[in-house]
Structure 1
Amino acid sequence: MVNLIQIKTFRNLTIVKLKKKIIWLQKLKKNNVLSKNTFEKFILSKKTTIRLLELFYTHLTKVQSVCIPYQICGFDILGSARTGSGKTIAFLIPIIEFFYTIQWNLKNGISALIITPTRELSLQNYYVLKDLLKYHSFSHGVVMGGANKKTEIEKLEKETTILVATPGRLLDHLKTTKNLKFQNLQFLIIDEADRCLEIGFEEEIVAIVKLLPKKRQTVLFSATQTRNIQSLSRISFQKTPVLLEIKENTREKIIENIDQGFVICKPEDKLVFLLTLIKKNRRKKIITFFNSCNEVKFFSALFRVIGLNVLELHGAKKQFKRTSTFFKFCKTKESILFCTDIAARGLDIPAVDWILQFNPPLEPKEYIHRIGRTGRGIHGKGWALLFLYPSEIAFLKFLKKNNINVKEFIFKKKKFSLLKQRISRFIEKNFYLKKLSKLAMKSFLNSYMNYRLKNIFDFRKININLVSESFGLNSIS
């Protein structure tokens, strides 16, 4: 039981913390650090304002200063803004303020719906929402593939006001879950819409939109405006939306904050070079990107056996493990994450030191999204390293044409032959690792044939026998 003294102590501590944050804000004002471009310019409720101060949100990002007024005024919005520009806060604050201002009845059912492409991004948006709602009484929830559906149904039946969801699971609930109240829906937000379409959710989103009430405010955000986005917008919007294209010189900021490099690596040396590099930087926070789930599985298992505590994140992993891995990596100051492009977009992972791209991305534009996981924040600094085969060097010219200059990182040349032999012998004796390495090799070859830039990533130019050595195999048999 919690006694009255404990409750008083807790309240006093909370007041002291809040006073400190108010004094901090006043100092910023006196020193003219706060400009007009702060959340003060919007007349927000005290509950929201206090929470923003506690979370140290003061200055508005460009997308927030542009989009919040339009959304508060009730306009439909078709917005284009880069990942990490502050979109989540931009669309959540108007929703919270609307429900608070008109004293929304909590029994009205699901009144705001936020659709996101991946489970990790759904969780991230949900926890930002949860943080902002600390002093508000609106119920909130998240539904996504891989989670327990029965548990989700129980929560949905308890009058959820704001719901975050992935498209597939949401459509499933709309079609099968009884007593779902959507008739009072006020807001439909589709976040990272271009990513939703890329990973095959177009049919699900179209079906969802058709099942929802037509009288609502719709906000659709994407990093790029494509033909598919335009066709989706025609279905989603009931009236002509306000077009807001937020340009923030993304590439210049990325180049400014991130030291980008490449290394030309022979196929047979790639595995041992990665191992050597990670061992040297094991006290750093590192994300390594691969192009397939099987590659992530194999290299994670191998590095763990060698003695490196590697976390893995990919689409074939069960949801509860994906969730725990994501938050575990976010909280640690030094850790190693092996992942697919599932972690390339939207996720705000703090203090990442190194981005390693063991394989160049299948889609060239994913290069920017991958390296964008580091160097985040005003004072953020990070390093990015791209592994290339000698036959892939033309990819650097492609990047240069897109105003991305990557310099060569020079590493001391070492003789890897002894280490390669030890690894290959070890894999040969371990049935489980050998099976994983063969599957990884097969997935790599399949993905290599799916590169869009066929003139650069030419399957005929790679030596398969040498490539097999980067998977610890002596041959491809």
Structure 2
Amino acid sequence: MSVRELLSNCTFSMLDGKVDTRILETLKCLGFNKPTRIQAEALPHIMLGKDLIGAAKTGSGKTLAFLIPVVDKLLKMGFTKKHGTGCIILSPTRELALQTNNVLKKLLRGIHLSHCLIVGGEKKAKDVLSLRKGSNIIVSTPGRLLDHLENTESFNCDNLKCLIVDEADKLLEAGFEKHITGIISLLPSKRQTLLFSATIDNKVESLARLALKANPVLISVNEDKQSTVTGLQQGYCICSVQNRIPWLFKMLKKTKKFKVMVFFSSCKSVDFHYDFFKNHCGAAVLCIHGKQSQSRRKEAYQSFIDAESGALFCTDVAARGLDIPSVDWIVQYDPPTDPKEYIHRVGRTARGVNQKGSAVILLRPEEEEFVSYLRKEKVFLDKYSFGEPPREVQDMLEELIIKNGLVKTLARKAYLTFLRCYKTHPLKKIFNIKTMDLKLAAKAFGFLEQPDVDFLRSKKT
């Protein structure tokens, strides 16, 4: 029998007698009957106390793969608040930490293990209070955790049994290497360490050598011929740069009964498009990006989770790890930096077992080569046609730019950052600012006259 056939017959009920019955009952109540592949392959090794590297695409069920055995281990060891922290889970972003914490809360129904969420943007005094009382499981971002390890005397992690590094590749991409090194140096060396990542590169391997025992178990479920999940229908649409706003208006209208995530290249572009579509087009839109306050990001994130339909305008801060239920469409309005980022973006839909979703990327005629570029990475796109975009919305935007100073300011900032992103794009052969008509690009932000672009002026010799 093949591994796939063996896993297809697995159920969580098979863990009866091996995992605490309260955990199994909660999984059943939450509708989790069969483990995903990463869960089925990783759980036996983790439950034996082995260090492990788990490589799997986003949406594969990595969170429960580490939460189930960790909660079970602390229960069997009789952990209470007086024992302090038994497990630390590191996440690259506040949103992913919040998401992991939400899953943990559900799993701990009827189980008396204390836990807390420690992330930047929240008051440290609240963290200190939770740590002083004794938090058995901590979900945290690296910067805030290192701060507490170095400066909070009441933080007791002498009994730490498990360190989990989640989305390790994203942690390293975000520049947390020194933080993680500092954290590891301050934690008890006698512990189990689990490292989960969508991709395994040289940096992740170096981190694994630093954090894990020699010869950790490697579980990789990234063996599919395609780089994206099979339930994902994905395509591209060719659109002239000056017709981008009408195209997006039509796209949002077509998908108004669905949940849609729209990716932009910059925070300022998110702000402009959010203001225009929310306040002037009456669209059901939320927005999230890295320069918002923690409270605003948290509110938008939770609102979109709870929504049955509507759009979330976002930057790539939302591209990795976030598990938002029932996202129907992914729209890449601005291009990703590379195929890997494309895959992370579309990974927000068609998540879990037997899930389906749709994705579309907007390209200028000069950028159609990106489709061939993705094909080399085993990502295959169909060509979509959305027909003629409505002219009225473009006229409305152009009139707003003339009459409304706030919208004009937002539009100018968005236009300049749009051009900057093109100017610095890693794939310059495809996303080439030299092939772009800057005056027509300005029309995509409502300008009849092109704003001054000082960073593209020719330098005098």
Structures share fold, TM-score greater than 0.5: yes
Worse-superposed segment, 117-126 or 102-111: 102-111
Aligned residue number for residue 448 of structure 1: 422
Shift of 1:428: 2.4
Deviations 1:85-110 (A, max 9, x none): 11111111111111111212431111
Deviation at 1:342, TM superposition (A): 1.2
Q: Choose which of 263, 271, 277 in structure 2 pairs with 1:289.
A: 263
**Aligned amino acid, residue 314 of structure 1:** H
User: What residue is the counterpart of 1:205 in the other structure?
Assistant: 180
The answer to whether residue 17 in structure 2 is matched with residue 41 in structure 1 is no
Q: SS of the residue aligned with 2:334?
A: coil
Amino acid in structure 1 at the alignment position of 2:286? L
CA 1:67/1:471 → structure 2, altered by over 3 Å: closer, same or farther? same
Q: In the alignment, which of 328, 345, 352 is matched to residue 353 of structure 1?
A: 328
SS in 1 for 2:339: coil
Deviation track 1:374-410 (CA, whole Å, cap 9, x = no partner) reads: 2234442222111001111110110111222211111
Which residue of the other structure, out of 104, 110, 115, is the alignment partner of 1:140?
A: 115
Corresponding residue to 1:426 among 400, 406, 410: 400
Moved more, 274-283 or 179-188: 274-283
Matched with 2:37 is 62
1:9 aligned partner? none
Distance 1:232 1:378, change over 3 A: closer
Give me the CA root mean square deviation: 1.7
Q: For residues 415 and 215 of structure 1, do their structure 2 counterparts lie closer, same or farther at Cα, with a shift above 3 Å needed?
A: closer
**TM-score, length basis structure 1:** 0.89
Structure 2 distance, partners of 1:302, 1:179, is 48
The match for 2:153 is: 178
Stretches (4+) displaced over 6 A: none
Contact 2:94 2:141 in 1 (8 A): yes
CA contact (8 A) 1:113 1:165 kept: yes
Cα distance in 1, alignment partners of residues 138 and 223 from structure 2: 30
Alpha-carbon distance between aligned partners in 2 of 1:391 and 1:207, rounded to the nearest angstrom: 46
Contact residue 79 and residue 136 of structure 2 kept, 8 A: no
In structure 1, distance between residues paired with 2:228 and 2:425: 27
SS in 1 for 2:279: helix
Work out the CA distance in 2 between the residues paired with 1:38 and 1:183. Answer: 36
| Residue matched to 2:409 | 435
Q: Quick check: 1:164 aligned with 2:128?
A: no
Q: Give the drift of 1:278.
A: 1.0
Q: Which residue of 1 aligns with 2:434?
A: 460
Which AA in structure 1 matches 2:11? T
Contact conserved, 2:225 with 2:378, CA < 8 A, in 1? no
1:363 and 1:451 in contact (8 A); partners too: no
Match of 2:367 among 379, 382, 392: 392
Return 5+ residue gaps in structure 1 as ranges.
1-33
- Aligned twin of 1:330: 305
Partner of 1:224: 199
TM-score normalised by L of structure 2: 0.92
- Alignment check: 8 A CA contact 2:234 2:382 kept: yes
Note the C-alpha offset of 1:248. 5.0
Shift of 1:247: 2.9
Cα displacement string for residues 94-134 of structure 1 (whole angstroms, at most 9, x for unaligned residues): 11111111212431111100001011110111011111111
**Distance in 2 between residues matched to 1:464 and 1:143, nearest whole Å:** 45
* SS of alignment partner, residue 79 of structure 1: strand
Describe the shift of the 1:287–1:454 C-alpha distance in structure 2 as closer, same or farther (beyond 3 A): same
CA 1:295 to 1:414, structure 2 compared with 1: closer, same or farther past 3 Å? closer
SS in 2 for 1:251: coil
State the Cα deviation string for residues 225-259 of structure 1 (Å, max 9, x = none). 111111111211243312222235273762x3222
What one-letter code is carried by the residue in structure 2 that aligns with 1:213?
P
Secondary structure (helix, strand or coil) at the match of 1:56 reads coil
1:267 aligned residue: 241
Q: Distance in 1 between matches of 2:228 and 2:439?
A: 41
1:85-96 to 2 correspondences below 5 Å: 85-96=60-71
The 8 Å contact of residues 353 and 383 in structure 1, kept in 2 or not, is answered as yes
Q: Which moved more, 1:441-450 or 1:186-195?
A: 441-450
Q: Which residue of 1 aligns with 2:3?
A: none
Residues 1:87 and 1:414: Cα distance change in structure 2 (over 3 Å): closer
Map Cα deviations across residues 146-177 of structure 1 (whole Å, 9 max, x no partner). Answer: 12221121111111000000111111211222
Displacement of 1:142: 0.6
SS of structure 1 residue aligned to 2:105: helix
Q: Secondary structure at 1:365's aligned position in 2?
A: helix
Change (3 A) 1:203 1:217: same
Aligned length: 442
Query: In structure 2, the residue corresponding to 1:347 is in which secondary structure?
Result: coil
Please tell me whether residue 308 in structure 1 is matched to residue 318 in structure 2.
Answer: no
Aligned-partner Cα distance in 2 for 1:346–1:251: 19
How far residue 450 of structure 1 moved from its aligned partner, in angstroms, is 2.6
Q: Decide which moves more: 427-436 or 85-94.
A: 427-436
Q: What amino acid maps onto 1:365 in structure 2?
A: K
Q: Cα gap change, 1:379/1:35 in structure 2, threshold over 3 Å: closer, same or farther?
A: closer
Q: Report the secondary structure of 2:54's partner residue.
A: strand
**2:221 alignment counterpart:** 246
Question: Does the Cα contact within 8 Å between 1:112 and 1:186 map onto a contact in 2?
Answer: yes
Q: Aligned AA for 1:436?
A: L
Q: Which residue of 2 aligns with 1:7?
A: none
Paired with 2:256 and 2:37, the residues of 1 have a C-alpha distance of 36
